Amino acid sequence: MDRRKFIQSTSVAGTSFLLAPQFGKAAGFFKGSPNEKVVIGMMGTHSRGAYLAQNFAKIPNVEIGYICDVDSNVVDKTTNDLYKQTGKKPQGITDIRRLLEKKDVDAIVIAAPDHWHAPATIMACQAGKHVYVEKPCSHNPHEGEMAVAAAKKYNKLVQMGSQRRSFSNVQGMIKELHDGIIGRAYYAKGWYTNHRASIGIGKVVPVPANLDYELWQGPAPRKPYQDNLIHYNWHWFWNWGTGEALNNGTHELDVIRWGLGVDFPNKVVSTGGRFHFKDDWQTPDTQNILYNFPNDTAAEWEGRSCNGFNIEGLGRGVIFYGDKGTIFYQGGNGYTVYDGDNKLVKEVKDDVVVDATNKVSPTEALDGMHMKNFVDSVRGVAQLNCPIETGFKSTLLPQLGNISYRVDRVLHIDPTNGHILNDPEAMKLWHREYEKGWEVKV
């Protein structure tokens, strides 16, 4: 299959791909030619990971060679489902360290819980593998810095799953924004709403026989197993998760940072709380984060995990405000542009429906563009649309919001590197403690 046919054969849901025009930076990473097979090992396939595996497997000449999960039931289900889909059954593995020993693996896709994202990324780079890591790219800012350093040190491609970076119309929207279609954009607002139920009060119970809880915790300090933690509610516990701000807010804040043309803020403040239910949920279910940036712009993100009332008619989205108009991005692959008198100037539509309440993928029909961009980059015929340097900066925004929330005050930030200024208590949350023997090093 030649390159032109390869690109044409991987269109998704009638939506065109926008392939990066410069290929030189990524060239030479892949061991074979652009026409040869790319072998992928998957880490974490209960929900999002299973979805990613099925969609990576749809890309021509990509093979899901290995499924790695700490739950044997999940391994069995994923390998069987992929066998039905592709006619070839991947090998099942429990321990990520064993997966990284496999010489035939070109890339690792990481969809394990947040506390594993950066450690597994760093380990994979050290093992000579390219990485596609789901957002957020790290559990805490220091891990994000280490992931950036690992990709550079070991000369590996690391893509974060900020899928909107590969949506063709979103790329066009950002170009129009930067070209001045609404004048100077000086403020942006993003939001995410859902109607999540209570997780209750968990009971400490024996670990199920099918689950390797020791490996599931990995680098995180040890906590007893309880019955309301796995497979999803870990998102709302600080020891493993990062709350809704990183679970979903990373997406909106990435688009905001991209559109405003900013790297790091100079001021952050966050308020909120666990208001809706009284249960084991530790992170805020209601949160507002405000940012000031050194280029005289500002941004806001609002998250409501337990009240799904829409904002501007949608469960998630971003609005850019400029001195000559407004852009309303609806969260998928469409947007509208208004002038200063709120008259419609332009409407870019896409027939893909975005379901903000879909826990696996609100933009399911579009995500294949980002996966294909990663595979093309591994092949050496494209550049990553969201390399780890970009992913780290966008992940840091909600992380700073969470730190502000936890210390309950405004944070003043060094705009050159994102570090918190003159606040030792807040900077303690820049890092985390690791279980002995699991310390993360580059």
For residue range 336-369, what is the model confidence (pLDDT) as tens digits? Answer: 999 999 999 999 998 666 565 655 555 666 889 9
Whichever domain contains 173, its CATH number is 3.30.360.10
pLDDT for 189: 98
Give mean pLDDT, residues 33-62: 92
Q: Could you tell me if 126 and 183 lie in one domain?
A: no
Residue of 165 and 21 predicted with greater confidence: 165
- To the nearest 5 percent, what fractions of the chain are helix, strand and coil? 30, 20, 45
Residue of 293 and 368 predicted with greater confidence: 293
Pairing status of strand 297-304 against strand 185-193: parallel
Question: Smallest Cα–Cα separation from 235: which of 291, 270, 282, 277?
Answer: 282
pLDDT for 403: 98
Q: Could you tell me if 111 and 178 lie in one domain?
A: no
pLDDT for 21: 30
pLDDT for 250: 98
Whichever domain contains 86, its CATH number is 3.40.50.720
pLDDT for 65: 98
Q: What is the pLDDT of residues 308-332, one digit of tens each?
A: 999 999 999 999 999 999 999 999 8
Q: Poorest-confidence range of 218-227, 232-241, 360-369?
A: 360-369
Element of type H or E holding 130: strand 130-133
Residue 388 CB partners (closer than 8 Å, separation 6+): 121, 131, 133, 137, 147, 148, 151, 158, 159, 160
In a domain, 141, yes or no: yes
pLDDT for 23: 35
Task: Answer whether residue 171 shows pLDDT above 80.
Answer: yes
Task: Answer whether residue 198 shows pLDDT above 80.
Answer: yes
In a domain, 413, yes or no: yes
Q: Could you tell me if 55 and 190 lie in one domain?
A: no
pLDDT for 18: 30
Q: Which domain holds residue 188?
A: 168-201+213-362+389-430
Q: Could you tell me if 174 and 230 lie in one domain?
A: yes
In a domain, 54, yes or no: yes
Q: Could you tell me if 263 and 380 lie in one domain?
A: no
pLDDT for 35: 61
In a domain, 436, yes or no: no
In a domain, 306, yes or no: yes
Q: Poorest-confidence range of 181-185, 347-351, 374-378?
A: 347-351
In a domain, 438, yes or no: no
Give mean pLDDT, residues 365-374: 90
The confidence band for 29, taking pLDDT boundaries of 50, 70 and 90, is: very low
Q: Could you tell me if 403 and 418 lie in one domain?
A: yes
In a domain, 134, yes or no: yes
Q: Could you tell me if 286 and 426 lie in one domain?
A: yes
Q: What is the pLDDT of residues 92-109, one digit of tens each?
A: 999 999 999 999 999 999
pLDDT for 367: 87
Q: pLDDT averaged over the chain?
A: 91
Q: How many CB atoms lie within 10 A of CB 57?
A: 19
pLDDT for 366: 83
- Proportion of the chain above pLDDT 70, given as a percent: 89
Q: What global pTM score does this model have?
A: 0.90
Give mean pLDDT, residues 119-123: 98
Q: Could you tell me if 307 and 425 lie in one domain?
A: yes
Give mean pLDDT, residues 263-291: 98
Q: Poorest-confidence range of 3-7, 352-356, 364-368, 386-390?
A: 3-7
Q: How many domains does the chain have?
A: 2
Q: How many CB atoms lie within 10 A of CB 184?
A: 11
Task: Answer whether residue 9 shows pLDDT above 60.
Answer: no
Q: Could you tell me if 196 and 126 lie in one domain?
A: no
pLDDT for 361: 57
d(CA 151, CA 44): 21
Q: Could you tell me if 267 and 398 lie in one domain?
A: yes
Q: Could you tell me if 400 and 291 lie in one domain?
A: yes
In a domain, 18, yes or no: yes
Q: What is the pLDDT of residues 418-435, one digit of tens each?
A: 999 999 999 999 999 999
pLDDT for 359: 57
Give the count of alpha carbons within 13 A of 224, CB side only: 7
Question: Smallest Cα–Cα separation from 132: which of 61, 205, 194, 42?
Answer: 42
Pairing status of strand 62-68 against strand 38-43: parallel
Q: Could you tell me if 249 and 346 lie in one domain?
A: yes
